[in-house]
Amino acid sequence: MIRLEDIIERVSAYNPAGDLDLIRKAYIFSAKVHKGQVRLSGEPYLNHPIEVAMLLAQLRLDPQTISTGLLHDTIEDTFASTEELKEFFGPEVAEMVDGVTKIGKIAFATSEEKQAENFRKMILAMGKDIRVILVKLADRLHNMRTLEHLPNENPIANRLGIGWIKSELEDLSLKYLRPELYNKISKMVSDKWVERERFITDFKDIIQKEMESFNIQGEVTGRPKHIYGVYKKLGDQDVVDIEQLNDIMAFRIKVDSVKDCYGALGMVHSLWKPVPGRFKDFIAMSKANGYQSLHTTVIAPNGERVEVQIRTREMHRIAEEGIAAHWKYKEGKAFSHKDDARFSWLRQLLELQTDLKDPAHFMETVKVDLFSDEVYVFTPKGLVKELQRGATPVDFAYGIHSDIGHKCVGAKVNGKMVPLRYQLRNGDTVEILTSTTHHPSRDWLKFVVTSRAKARIIQWINTEERGRSISLGREMLEKELKKYSLELRNEDMSKAVSELHIPTAEDLYARVGYGKLPIHNVLSKIVPKDKLLDSQKKPTLGLTSVISRFRKKPDSAIRIKGVEDVMVRFGNCCNPLSGDKVVGFITRGRGVTVHRVECPMTREIDPERKVDVEWDTGAVGSRPAKIEVVCLDKKGILAEISSTITSSEANITSAQLKATEDKKAVGIFEVEVGSVAQLQKVIAALSRLKGVLKVERLRA
């Protein structure tokens, strides 16, 4: 049974200046709020936080973290609150306890290896302060040690490169998840232990003597791999008999320098033949958690494969203690280094001195947001998706499948509707709403951040635009050729493509449809010259001239989304003005015709020809609009109406006025205005005139 004084004694040994009273205070508070609570084993609940605190002391952590270990279940399992902990122990400890509580609430829906890794990353990303993760790790380890008292469940192992905790968690997980296999492997290993022990001794002696002859200082240890390691080998090699199992013996050589690591490697390879493809250099390319070592597998004298790991003593300490091995600082100098790259700050910490006085100065270096460039979110089925920080529901949708992205019309995050530009946060559950009639919008490119989403949206837009321009270009050529009583033939197009140096006929149609290739240039390659000359005597309006003429007009303030250099005209049926909601349709030989959304003509046009258009609010120009004025038939009324329109800065281009039998007059005025707002100003001014009964805008 571990006592409080056992923890105090261990902490004071490596951190005599630490706040030991904080630990005692946390113990008393935990004992008070957990009083009367027992674990399923029947022992007092307080034993659990004490065991967790001792594990943290074994990792040589600071008093704040050990106090958090004593208090880690108080918010979850007692009436204590975060505010209460903040009052008694300060915000640092309170925030860590709150962090441990939140991590414990994460639900795990799958044991798939890739998903397990994403869950680990999510936990790290949510932890903020790495000490929170270490407390949770110690909590989980003690729970696993006493799992025989708990209901069957699937425990998870969260690793931060802490070798002894990692190995114990793996063995305990196997023990409770597959007890029969665990017991079988354990028995097989123990039955062969005497023979294995003799082999280990002989192998160690050979290496040790050879190291002396090479003048390499160091020590050699050997052991069978732990139970989970053997289990993995069984799975990899598909055997059930340990006699058939290779590579279950592991030796470790610890030396003083990196130079000696590579020297020892050459020595081992000179003694025994290395197995091709089984050498890994984690010194030159260290793992993300800071682990460094040389791994090689050789054929021993008895023909058995043996793994040999070679590392410096410092590398070994880091491999065993993981992140806790970095709990150091240069005396008198607080170390602070922030790096956006994943885990790169850990590698920087390897250069620090090894003597630990007070780890408090080191805390700022680990209060960072791990995986700061990523965000981890859940699908509705509980799977975790890794996305770039700043990702939106549209990024998430494309991360699931391109079709989901294309058809995305909305999103729910944690059960609530959110805008598509909402930035996802760690732990969000995202549900995408789709429609088979919906398509991507160019506007999405303004807020998506993942390269996959951007590429798929651009690809879809380009494909759709190209298809429309090909169709339009072909129709325009067919119409022009009919003027010469000619049809569009493949052989003629092949000739035109070749002479104009255009890759394919589709490319030619697309350029015509975009307005980037004058129709006359194509006709000159297809139509006989005598016919072409005759037609030139009768001037016609080609695409290029239409675009040119149109652009010179000030009323061309319309943009086709995603397309440039396209001929645009306005429907005479509805006379759209800037500010009207408009829609465009590809029309034969006329480019794109723009209508007001409510125009009845839009219901008669093939919806496949529809394109998105919008007003260019930065363009200056005017458009014609017609208004009908009903007034009393009296002398001077026309002059008053005309004067009022002019005073409203609108120009009258035509006017028609006729009298009715009931002594009224109806006037139809065509005026030029810059926008709907200006037209409304004209209508309002006319409505205030004495004798004017009604003013309205005509739709056609």
- Catalytic residue list: 76-77
Q: What is the DSSP letter of 689?
A: S
DSSP string of 612-666?
Answer: -EEE-TT----EEEEEEEEEE--TTHHHHHHHHHHHTT-EEEEEEEEE-TTSEEE
State which amino acid sits at residue 502: I
Residues 6+ apart with CB under 8 A from 668: 626, 627, 628, 655, 656, 657, 698
Run of H or E residues at 255: strand 249-255
- Residues with Cβ within 8 Å of residue 616, at least 6 apart in sequence: 557, 558, 559
Phi, psi dihedral angles at 406 (to 5 degrees)? -60, -35
What type of residue is 420? L
DSSP class per residue in 15-84? -TTS-HHHHHHHHHHHHHHTTT-B-TTSSBTTHHHHHHHHHHHHTT--HHHHHHHHHTTHHHHSS--HHH
Alpha-carbon dihedral sign for residues 484, 488, 491, 496: positive
Helix or strand (DSSP H, E) at 596: strand 591-596
- Reading the block at residue 149, the tokens are 């008292």
Please tell me what DSSP assigns to residue 370: T
Helix, strand, coil percentages (3-state) for the chain, rounded to 5, are 50, 20, 35
Looking at residue 220, the DSSP 8-state letter turns out to be E
CB atoms under 10 Å from CB of 535, counted, come to 16
C-alpha distances (whole Å) from 83 to each of 71, 90, 92, 369, 534 are: 13, 9, 12, 24, 93
In b/e form, how buried is each residue of 607-620, taking b as 16+ CB within 10 angstroms? Answer: eebebbbebeeeee
